[in-house]
Every structure is written in structure tokens, then in C-alpha cells.
Chain A
Amino acid sequence: MATSSPSSSKFYSHPVVKWIEYRLPIFSFIDHSLGSSYPAPKNLSYWWNFGSLAGAMLTIMIVSGIFLAMNYTPHASLAFDSVERIMRDVNYGWLMRYVHMNGASFFFIAVYIHLFRGMYYGSYKYPREVLWWLGVIILLLMMATAFMGYVLPWGQMSFWGATVITNLFSAFPLIGDSIVTLLWGGFAVDNPTLNRFFSLHYLLPFVIVGVVIMHIWALHMHGSNNPLGIDTKGPQDKIPFHPYYTVKDLFGLGVFMIIYAGFVFFAPNFFGEPDNYIKANPLQTPPHIVPEWYFLPYYAILRSIPNKLLGVIAMFSSILILFVLPWLDTSRVRSGRFRPVFRIFLWIFLIDTVALGFVGAHPPEGWYLVLGRVATIWYFLHFIILLPLLGWFERPLPLPASISEPVLGGARTAGAAVRSMEKN
């Protein structure tokens, strides 16, 4: 099908390729990983672009971050000015800084869409549970990395965000205070905190790369899920990853880059807080301490609960609960396309998280507090009560017999498909 791909014998008969391939089979490895020897379902929609987009963002973040680190000084009294020196005097430093700053937001945009796509099409279900776990681990690592990266410019929001978030750990009984001292490297957020955050901020992205490799490894065991959520039945349901999905991913990357570049060049501070252009001042607390937008829903959950320890537990649970999602969702049908009731509740869940994000951006008073509490309850209700019950009470629509014949639907074939999945 694809004549220029490494699978063609012409490529492998080249003497240099042959020599290397005999000693290190790297060409066939790449080809089996994302080349023409990796078969993918032929019906993947554009929602399946966001995995590769997240990978592209990770690469952009690492590359721009390495250049920034060459010019950044991780010291409490020098960090802020060193960032401004990057912005003003380092050649294209402003570009690297704005690429990195907005890149964090676009990395989260890609990952959140990727995650929601997985939830909508049931990609976390058998046999992809470990693949899903690895994804949740990547999300947690990203959050830690993003949080510590936000501290590095040592502006007001950096400093006070670090103070608020690290203080959360003091809620844990007995060990809480020791954890906080360990995070701070002392008895307040200060230079040792900045030093260790910089060190970890440089380290964790490479840990993410490692987990991403495992994520892709697990993906390759059973291949991508697809919009129909049914297993591929044979070669007629599949197409080689290259050139079909490489070109589709590249086109998606182009569109994503247009939006990303739009922010980098024309609204670079859109996602930022003005307060972070004020140097950190431990003696002056900003009127509203807000985290970056991608943390707002969790922040809202934290502040919706009057008890500090329970709030911290709820906040962490809101992400950790994703680990058991494959077992909370009791339905055997993967794709939301064939689950009419689940689909509605999943959209409501999305609105619920957006509402939480909205609440997180405002002080927890009056209506915001009420809305935050309702939305927090709904968040957990969705996972703990609705999902298990839906699997039992919902009547899924008839499933198609195969990807190649999606139109040949019918009540009988649906039952058959569900049964055949049970046997898996």
C-alpha cells in the first residue's frame, strides 16, 4: 500500500540499512511502532489526534525548556530578573518563554481532550486498563511538573501558589508537617524550595517521556479503540498507521499549531495572571490567589469542603478515582455512541467540571460556594453512583457487526456483539 515505507523490501535491501538492521533492528522497530507495519482501525475520527498532539506538546515543552534553563537562575533573589532578562536581552528569549508558558496550557488542552475522548468512547475498558492507568500517571506527573514550573519565575502568584499548595500537605495527621518541611527544604517557601522545584521541574518531564513510552507500548498490545468501540475483526477493518494516520496527525498538528501560535504571538499573557509580573513578596499576600486554569476544578473541589483534611482528600480523590474508572463503569459496551443515557450524563459531567473550573476562579463565597458544593457532589456522584448503575439499567443501542459494516445494525447483531465481547 505504502511504497516508500520501510516495510518495502527495497528499503531493507539497502546495504547501510541492512548492516544496521542486522545489529540493531531500529528501522523495523519504528515501522512496527508508528509505521506501515502498525495496523490501526480504519474509522478513527479526529478525536484520536489528541494523543499525538500531546506528544508533540511534550516535545515542544522539553526543547523550549532546555533553552530557558540555559538562561534561568534558580535563586530567590535572582530568578524574577533572570526571567525578565530572557524576555528582554536573550536572543529570541521572549519567544522561548512565551512558547513554554502557553505550551503548558496547550499541553493540558490536548491531554484533557484526549482524556475526555477516552471517557466518551470507553477506551479505558478491557483490555486497555493498564494503558488507562499509565495515562492517569502521566496526568499526575504533568500536574506536578506544571505546578513546580509555575513557581520558577518567582512572581507573586508563583510564591503564594506554592505556599498554598504545599501547605495542603500539612492537613495530613502526624506526618503532614514533616512533608511540608521536606517540600520546602526549610520552614517557609524560600530559596531551597525554588532550588528543589527547579531540579524536579527539569527531571519530571523525562519521567513523563518514560511513562509515555510505556503508554504507547500498552497501546500497541491491543491497538487503538475506535469510535464504534467494537474490536477489529480482521484486516478489512484496519489500515496501516503510516501513511494514513501519520498524515492525518500531521494535518491535525498544523491546525493545533495555528491556534497555539495565535496565543503565543498575539495574546501571550491570556492564560497568565497579572500578579505574576510582580516580584514575589513574602510580606504581601495578593487579594485572590488562583492557580493556573487547568487546576481550577480541583481547587474548587478543595475549597468546597469546609474541613481541610477532607478537602485535600477530596481533591486528590477527584483524580485518583480515574484509576478505578474501568471497574466503576459496569457496562460492557465501550462507545458512548451506543449508550444513549451514559452519553447524556457524560456531557453533564463535562459541564460539571467546567462549572467547577469557573467556581475555582472566584473566591468561595455566596453563590460560588453553593455551586461549587453542588458541582463537587455531582462530580463524585457521577463516578460512584451513576456509572455503576448505568451499566445495569441502560439499554445500549444495537452494535454493528464490524467496523467495515457499521450500517448492518440490528437488535440481534447487537446482542451477538455484546456476547462476543463478554467472551473476550
Chain B
Amino acid sequence: MRKLALAFAASAALVALTLGAAAPAQEMSPEAELKLPSPGWSFDGPFGTFDRAAAQRGFQVYRDVCSTCHSLNLVHYRNLTDLGFSEEEVKAIAAGVQVTDGPNDQGEMYERPGRPYDTFKAPFPNDNAARAANNGALPPDLSLMTKAREGGPDYVYGILTGFSDPPPGFKLMEGMYYNKYFPGHQIAMPPPLTPDRVTYADGTKATVEQEAHDVVTFLHWAAEPNLETRKRIGMKSMIFLFVLSGLLYAVKRRVWRDVH
């Protein structure tokens, strides 16, 4: 018993040392203390799904606002049917852009209306063009944005709603904007969302928070389009595995009866 107590004491000492070492380090970085806002997501939790209406509104925000600078290279127009758009609507959406195709039998590239099998048209032909148009900064591709940052959807929502005037004494560089959730607080992106920046067809009031919420829902779908299938199969797998393990346990007990 005394040995057990000794072991516990030794473990406790090491754990305390570890935690003690962690505490001052956290104090050193103020960014870690700033908690990301979370409006609560329809896709959270083991049964979460994408709120179709929010994702469709989010697509509108992306198309009308974000796509001016940000590409969405990994998503095809055809994928939009996942969000409840009909095939006809998707064809119309795709046809709204001109894409470069070719070469044709004359050896020349030509422009044609987009088709559902095309990927979302990028705003710039290449990274250099994107930088040239954006004060030297490169607007990142948004296809995986909600998975490619610490904090995920909450972080992207935080960036979109985190713009404000810099606190007194904060030196903001030329052409930069203050954002409380961006590492270093200086971001090259001007505040993209304003109230009524888009007009929603379903009558939802377009506040900055609402627009941010909708576009993050859309972007999380873009980053993880199989989320709903994954969770659905996951639930079935869990039920199967629990039943299987229960049965195996019963068999184990039975087989081992004469040994115990």
C-alpha cells in the first residue's frame, strides 16, 4: 500500500511539474487566450448534417463576395447538387462563367460557358496575377480552408467577424487591416462582409454574422463533402461493432467457463 502511495506521489509530482511547465508558456502568447467565437454548427456532433438553406446562402456569399479573390479549385459545379440545387440550377450556375478550353482542331484555345463537370472558375489565372491584384498578398484557395487552420470553422468565422479598429498604440502597416483572431492581428484582406452585402432570396436578414455563418457552412461542405455519409456509415458501424463485441464477449465467457 505504501508503495502504491509512493508511486502516486511520484506520478503526481511529475504531472504537477508538467502542468507547471505548461502554464507560464501559455501566458506568453496572448493569442492563445483569445477564445474563438462559435455560433454552433449544423454539422457538429455525431448526427450533424449540413443545413442546406445555410449552405445555399453561403454559396451565394462565396459567389458574390469571396470568389472575387479566392479560388475553390477542388470543388466542381456538379458537386452543388449535394446542397439541394437541381441539375438545371447547377447547369445554369456553371453556364454563368466563361472557361478556357482547347486546343480545338485549329490548335487554338477558346472560351466556352462552364459545364457542371468543370471545377469552380478561379478568379486569377495564376498566383502571380493574384498577388499583383492584391497588393502582393496571395488570397489562399478556400477548398480546404476549414480543415487547414487550427480552430477549423470557428477560426474562419472568427476571421470574418473579427475585424475592428486597431487598439490605441497598435502599429498597422500600409494596406493592412486589424483582425483580432488573425495571428499577428494584421491581415491583408479588407473586411469582406458588410450588412446587406448580399440579398438573400429566402428573406433571411443579411447581417455580417449571418453571412459569415452561412459561408462557413458552405466552405465546410466544400472541405469535407462526405461528412454526412461518413457519420451515417459511422453510426451503422458503431451499432454493428457493439453488437459484435457483445456477442464475442458472451462467447468468450462461455468458452472460458471451465478455466475460471
Q: Which residues of B contact A42 (CB under 8 A)?
A: 259
Q: Which residues of A contact B80 (CB under 8 A)?
A: none
Q: With A42-B259, A261-B237, A265-B234 as given contacts, are A278 and B148 in contact (CB-CB < 8 Å)?
A: yes
Q: With A247-B255, A277-B148, A344-B6 as given contacts, are A255 and B245 in contact (CB-CB < 8 Å)?
A: yes
**A362 to B23 Cα, complex, angstroms:** 13
Q: Is A415 an interface residue (CB 8 A)?
A: no
Q: Is B233 an interface residue (CB 8 A)?
A: yes
Interface residue from A84, A239, A268, A365 paired with B230 (Cβ < 8 Å): A268
Count chain A residues whose beta carbon lies closer than 8 angstroms to a beta carbon of B: 50
B3 touches A367 (CB 8 A): no
Q: Which residues of A contact B6 (CB under 8 A)?
A: 344
B14 touches A275 (CB 8 A): no
Residues 45-98 of A contacting B (Cβ, < 8 Å)? 81, 84, 87-88, 94-95, 98
Interface residue from A95, A340, A344, A370 paired with B21 (Cβ < 8 Å): A370
Q: Which residues of B contact A207 (CB under 8 A)?
A: none
Q: Is A388 an interface residue (CB 8 A)?
A: no
Q: Would you give the 0/1 interface string for B119-144, flagging 1 where the beta carbon is closer than 8 Å to chain A?
A: 00000000000000000000010011
Residues 362-386 of A contacting B (Cβ, < 8 Å)? 362, 365-368, 370-371, 374
Q: Is A251 an interface residue (CB 8 A)?
A: yes
Q: Would you give the 0/1 interface string for B179-203, flagging 1 where the beta carbon is closer than 8 Å to chain A?
A: 0000100000000000000000000
**A344 to B7 Cα, complex, angstroms:** 5
- Report B131 CB to chain A, min CB distance, Å: 13
The dominant DSSP class at the B interface is: helix
**A371 to B238 Cα, complex, angstroms:** 40
- Report A268 CB to chain B, min CB distance, Å: 7
- Report B48 CB to chain A, min CB distance, Å: 10
B18 touches A277 (CB 8 A): no
A95 touches B148 (CB 8 A): no
Interface residue from B3, B148, B152 paired with A340 (Cβ < 8 Å): B3
Q: Is A220 an interface residue (CB 8 A)?
A: no
A94 touches B226 (CB 8 A): yes
Q: Which residues of A contact B (CB under 8 A)?
A: 42, 81, 84, 87-88, 94-95, 98, 239, 243-244, 247-248, 250-251, 254-255, 257-258, 261-262, 264-266, 268-269, 274-275, 277-278, 287, 340-341, 343-344, 347-348, 351-352, 355, 358-359, 362, 365-368, 370-371, 374
Can you name 18 A-B pairs with beta carbons within 8 Å? Answer: A42-B259, A84-B143, A95-B233, A98-B230, A247-B255, A248-B256, A251-B245, A251-B249, A257-B241, A258-B245, A261-B237, A265-B233, A266-B231, A274-B148, A275-B148, A343-B7, A348-B10, A367-B21
